Amino acid sequence: MSATEDHSIRFHRVHLDDMARVRVCKYCELEDREVTQGEIGKGYELTEDTVIPVLDEELQQMPLPTAKAIELVAFMPAESIDPIRVGDGYCLQPDGLVAAKPYKLLAQALERSSKVAVAKFAWSGRERLGLLRVRDGVIVLHSILWDDEIRDPSELAPDAVELTDDEVTEGQLLIDRLTRDDLDGPEFTDQYTEAVSELIPAKREGKEPTPAAEEEAPTGEVVDLMAALQESVAKARTARGEDATVHEMPKTATKETEKKQPAKKTAAKKAAKKATGRKPRSA
């Protein structure tokens, strides 16, 4: 059984002139006619002119141990599995009284061991990898992507940049201010679905929908990272009803900077003497 529910608002495709439903027809290119579901099967395109038919019965009769059962392969800590590999969840239900005892045994053993089970199973015409865990006494199966289904993100990493300790500390402060133990609260609501729910009755009554507040488009200019971080911290404090004042962090001079200070002052004096004879820079 699916472990999740979809509350998205569904729309039909319609012909705007008369609001009649628009449907997709299954059409045979060679015979130039619409075909029924019973005439449709699977085919593998070997070449542009050669298609190999594959029957559903042939796929069902393949000698796979996972075709009709979930095969447990290994057990491991849940944190050792990269979350990017974990997909949709399905609640597993024991098939009758005979399966109730081994089902309960596996569930309690998993809970006591604080581990998850890795399994193989067949689903939608292919063999998949799965993760079994326990939630409120029920075994939940999550599909897991194979290794070759995960893209290498290294090419998307940003170029080398330099960050100061103050900037990283401000980032940590922002994380601390927004840290919480749950996902309860008005900020974790589906605002888009709520807006669509208000749009439909408004249009039915002939009212104009409330326009959304326009946000400033990004300018593409280089921003002051420290100022942006401090602004984010201030917003986080305001949201929690705290004082939004963000004090600048004290900068501590190191021994190296202290030694180099006299040299900087001397250089500054020399620069000041030369400044009188400089011409202004052209734009």
Same domain, 85 and 114: yes
Q: In whole numbers, what is the pLDDT of the chain averaged over residues?
A: 80
Q: Specify if 30 maps to a domain.
A: yes
Determine the structural domain holding residue 44 and report its residue range: 25-60
Per-position DSSP letters for 179-205, written without gaps between them? --S---SGGGS-HHHHHHHHHHHHHHT
- Which of 142-151, 209-218, 236-245 is most confident? 142-151
Same domain, 36 and 88: no
The answer to whether residue 250 scores a pLDDT higher than 60 is no
Same domain, 136 and 94: yes
The pLDDT > 70 percentage for the chain reads 79
Q: What pLDDT shows up at residue 253?
A: 41
Distance of alpha carbon 200 from its chain centroid, rounded? 28
The answer to whether residue 265 scores a pLDDT higher than 90 is no
Q: Specify if 257 maps to a domain.
A: no
Count how many domains the chain has.
3
Q: Specify if 271 maps to a domain.
A: no
Q: Across residues 106-112, what is the average pLDDT?
A: 94
Domain boundary among 150, 184, 212: 150
Could you tell me the end-to-end alpha-carbon distance of the chain, in angstroms, rounded to an integer?
68
For 87, the enclosing helix (H) or strand (E) is strand 86-91
Same domain, 237 and 166: yes
Q: Specify if 167 maps to a domain.
A: yes
Q: Across residues 217-231, what is the average pLDDT?
A: 68
For 173, the enclosing helix (H) or strand (E) is helix 165-177
Q: What pLDDT shows up at residue 273?
A: 44
The Cβ of residue 142 has, within 10 Å, a number of other Cβ atoms equal to: 18
Domain boundary among 60, 80, 109: 60
- Tell me the CATH number at 111: 2.40.290.10
Confidence of residue 134 (pLDDT cuts 50, 70, 90): very high
Q: Specify if 202 maps to a domain.
A: no
Same domain, 166 and 139: no
Strands 33-34 and 27-28: antiparallel
Place of tokens 């409120």: 136
Specify the range with the lowest mean pLDDT, choosing from 71-75, 124-128, 236-240. Answer: 236-240
Q: Specify if 203 maps to a domain.
A: no
Same domain, 109 and 82: yes
Confidence of residue 212 (pLDDT cuts 50, 70, 90): low
- Tell me how far apart the alpha carbons of residues 120 and 146 are, in angstroms, rounded to a whole number: 11
The answer to whether residue 144 scores a pLDDT higher than 90 is yes
pLDDT tens digit sequence for 77-93? 999 999 999 998 999 99
